[in-house]
């Protein structure tokens, strides 16, 4: 089955066909480092991390660039507010962003260019646009002449009039048209600035992405350009105009946009007191629970963060952990004969994994993919009850593969102390060698040293209930 992606540009879900398979050149608009990252950023970073991982899993050679905007009006305003330099504000927030990525377990992009490192490329890009008649300078600023670019509005599907309503019309503007946007801004005293053919200044936000994506992906046509829904207009519309006006080629084959996050139905804002930073969210809810919460909605849909939804995510995680505990804790009775396993036992495991892949192939439908994982767990539990060891261990193996694919850390083995894991290994070896006296002695040792609550026996199968797990369950 082919992988299908909903493309904002064509407003259709269509087969994903990169320009030069298996290479996929993917760019996402990164953060503007004027503040700490919040829960909305975490969703954006994580969802695109999942898409990137899945493309790799599907055999694509993904080249991924995620920029950092470290020169911008918001940074300059913050610096003035805090009586710092723009560089100080940017570097503090980059450090915090790095910590967030690390804590969330989001893979680093292949390249993470900072806007301030690529200013000469942006100047060159603007010069090219001016030569082609798409840009005009006025008093040290340079604007893009929107009326010259006939496809303007295609991505956001708006008419010029609709777009005019959306932009703020400045009274004393020197622009030819209210929709024209700044490619280069003359700097005021005290602002970060670079020398250019139009005098001291700095790049506009939109040109940064056009220039950095093409430069670092070494192409004029990206395969995937991704970002938040709020960036469609004007940011991405402007990126297309600037890039295509210069190169005459399509800027990106696919445009992917994630929906926005609200908190209890409200937009997140410091003024509303519902602003949750990534660090706060992690310490309060845990990384896996946040990720399961994000996966529970399709990436393109809006997502509302509520206490109830995070409880559902916790429940989902516990469901996985319990299954893994059962597998790890499972041991046959001494002398119990091996239960024969049929092709169907394995086949149903594979079918659940195939359902997962089919869901992900359908525009990365993560809620459906999660449902397939629950089917896998349910079937695995049936296999455990039947004592079909080979088959349920296989189920666990496939499940772990999917956890890895989604960047989830759900692993019980990780939560077990190393000495206990060693005893489990020794006991498994003893059982394999039919040394049941030793296996029994090891079980006694595990029980006494690690205060195992009980050894439950359900239809002849032994489960180990760990005291620490019981405690966790009560704590939750």
The residue among 195, 216, 254 whose CA lies nearest residue 9 is 254
- Closest to Zn ion by CB, 209 vs 310, is 209
Instruction: Name the one range near Zn ion by CB under 5 A: 84-92, 208-216, 325-333, 467-475.
Output: 208-216
Contact by Cβ (8 Å): 406, 291: yes
| Minimum distance, C-beta of residue 47 to Zn ion, in the bound complex (Å) | 16
Tell me how far apart the alpha carbons of residues 445 and 464 are, in angstroms, rounded to a whole number.
13
Contact positions with Zn ion (CB under 5 A) in 307-366: none
- Closest to Zn ion by CB, 110 vs 435, is 110
- Closest to Zn ion by CB, 25 vs 317, is 25
Query: Which residue's entry shows tokens 């913050």?
Result: 78
| Minimum distance, C-beta of residue 235 to Zn ion, in the bound complex (Å) | 6
User: Hey, is 126 helix, strand or coil?
Assistant: helix
Tell me how far apart the alpha carbons of residues 95 and 83 are, in angstroms, rounded to a whole number.
19
> Is residue 39 at the binding interface for Zn ion, with CB under 5 A as the rule?
no
User: Hey, is 294 helix, strand or coil?
Assistant: helix
| Minimum distance, C-beta of residue 364 to Zn ion, in the bound complex (Å) | 20
- Closest to Zn ion by CB, 29 vs 410, is 29
Query: Which residue's entry shows tokens 């004029």?
Result: 220
- Closest to Zn ion by CB, 119 vs 209, is 209
- Closest to Zn ion by CB, 29 vs 62, is 29
- Closest to Zn ion by CB, 209 vs 420, is 209
Q: Burial of 417 by CB count in 10 Å (0-12 exposed, 13-18 middle, 19+ buried)?
A: exposed
DSSP letter, residue 235? I
Instruction: Name the one range near Zn ion by CB under 5 A: 21-29, 86-94, 100-108, 244-252.
Output: 21-29
Contact by Cβ (8 Å): 407, 50: yes
Tell me how far apart the alpha carbons of residues 311 and 302 are, in angstroms, rounded to a whole number.
19
| Minimum distance, C-beta of residue 457 to Zn ion, in the bound complex (Å) | 59
| Minimum distance, C-beta of residue 6 to Zn ion, in the bound complex (Å) | 19
> Is residue 71 at the binding interface for Zn ion, with CB under 5 A as the rule?
no
| Minimum distance, C-beta of residue 324 to Zn ion, in the bound complex (Å) | 40
Total number of residues that touch Zn ion (CB under 5 A)? 2
Structure tokens at 187: 């700097």
User: Hey, is 465 helix, strand or coil?
Assistant: strand
Pick one of 9, 24, 29, 55: the residue that binds Zn ion (CB under 5 A): 29
| Minimum distance, C-beta of residue 20 to Zn ion, in the bound complex (Å) | 23
The residue among 37, 28, 46 whose CA lies nearest residue 98 is 37
Pick one of 209, 290, 408, 452: the residue that binds Zn ion (CB under 5 A): 209
Structure tokens at 15: 């087969």
Instruction: Name the one range near Zn ion by CB under 5 A: 22-30, 49-57, 356-364, 368-376.
Output: 22-30
| Minimum distance, C-beta of residue 65 to Zn ion, in the bound complex (Å) | 11
Contact positions with Zn ion (CB under 5 A) in 377-416: none
- Closest to Zn ion by CB, 254 vs 379, is 254
- Closest to Zn ion by CB, 209 vs 303, is 209
| Minimum distance, C-beta of residue 87 to Zn ion, in the bound complex (Å) | 21
For strands 141-144 and 266-267, give the pairing. Answer: unpaired
Instruction: Give DSSP secondary structure letters for 172-214.
Output: T---SSTT-EEEEEEPPTTS--B--TTSSEEE-HHHHHHHHHH
Contact by Cβ (8 Å): 144, 238: yes
**Binding footprint of Zn ion on the chain (CB under 5 A):** 29, 209
């Amino acid at each position: 089955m082919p992988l299908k992606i909903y493309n904002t540009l064509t407003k259709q879900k269509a087969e994903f066909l990169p320009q030069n398979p298996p290479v996929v050149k993917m760019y996402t608009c990164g953060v503007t480092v004027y503040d700490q990252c919040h829960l909305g950023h975490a969703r954006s970073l994580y969802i695109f991390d999942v898409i990137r991982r899945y493309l790799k899993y599907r055999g694509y050679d993904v080249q991924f660039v995620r920029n950092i905007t470290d020169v911008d009006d918001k940074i300059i305003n913050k610096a003035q507010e805090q009586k710092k330099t723009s560089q100080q504000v940017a570097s503090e927030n980059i450090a915090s962003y790095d910590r967030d990525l690390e804590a969330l377990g989001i893979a680093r992009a292949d390249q993470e260019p900072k806007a301030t490192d690529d200013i000469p490329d942006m100047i060159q890009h603007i010069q090219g646009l001016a030569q082609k008649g798409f840009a005009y300078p006025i008093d040290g600023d340079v604007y893009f002449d929107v009326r010259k670019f006939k496809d303007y509005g295609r991505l956001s599907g708006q008419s010029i009039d609709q777009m005019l309503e959306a932009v703020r019309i400045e009274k004393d503007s020197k622009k030819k048209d209210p929709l024209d946007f700044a490619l280069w801004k003359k700097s005021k005293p005290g602002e970060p600035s670079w020398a250019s053919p139009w005098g001291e200044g700095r790049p506009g936000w939109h040109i940064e992405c056009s220039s950095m994506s093409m430069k670092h992906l070494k192409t004029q046509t990206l395969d995937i350009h991704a970002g938040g829904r709020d960036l469609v207009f004007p940011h991405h519309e402007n990126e297309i105009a600037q890039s295509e006006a210069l190169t005459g080629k399509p800027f990106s084959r696919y445009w992917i946009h994630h929906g926005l996050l609200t908190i209890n139905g409200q937009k997140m804002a410091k003024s509303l007191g519902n602003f949750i930073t990534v660090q706060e969210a992690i310490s309060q809810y845990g990384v896996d629970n946040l990720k399961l919460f994000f996966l529970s909605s399709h990436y393109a849909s809006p997502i509302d963060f509520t206490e109830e939804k995070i409880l559902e995510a916790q429940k989902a995680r516990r469901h996985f952990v319990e299954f893994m505990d059962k597998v790890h804790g499972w041991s046959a009775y001494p002398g119990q004969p091996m239960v024969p396993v049929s092709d169907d036992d394995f086949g149903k495991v594979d079918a659940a994994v195939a359902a997962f892949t089919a869901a992900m192939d359908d525009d990365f439908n993560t809620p459906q993919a999660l449902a397939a994982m629950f089917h896998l767990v349910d079937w695995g539990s049936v296999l455990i009850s039947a004592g079909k060891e080979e088959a349920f261990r296989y189920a666990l193996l496939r499940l772990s593969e999917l956890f890895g694919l989604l960047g989830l850390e759900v692993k019980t083995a990780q939560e077990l102390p190393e000495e206990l894991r060693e005893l489990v290994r020794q006991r498994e070896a003893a059982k394999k060698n039919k040394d049941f006296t030793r296996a029994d002695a090891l079980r006694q040792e595990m029980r006494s040293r690690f205060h195992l609550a009980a050894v439950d026996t359900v239809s002849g199968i032994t489960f180990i209930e760990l005291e620490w797990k019981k405690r966790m369950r009560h704590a939750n």
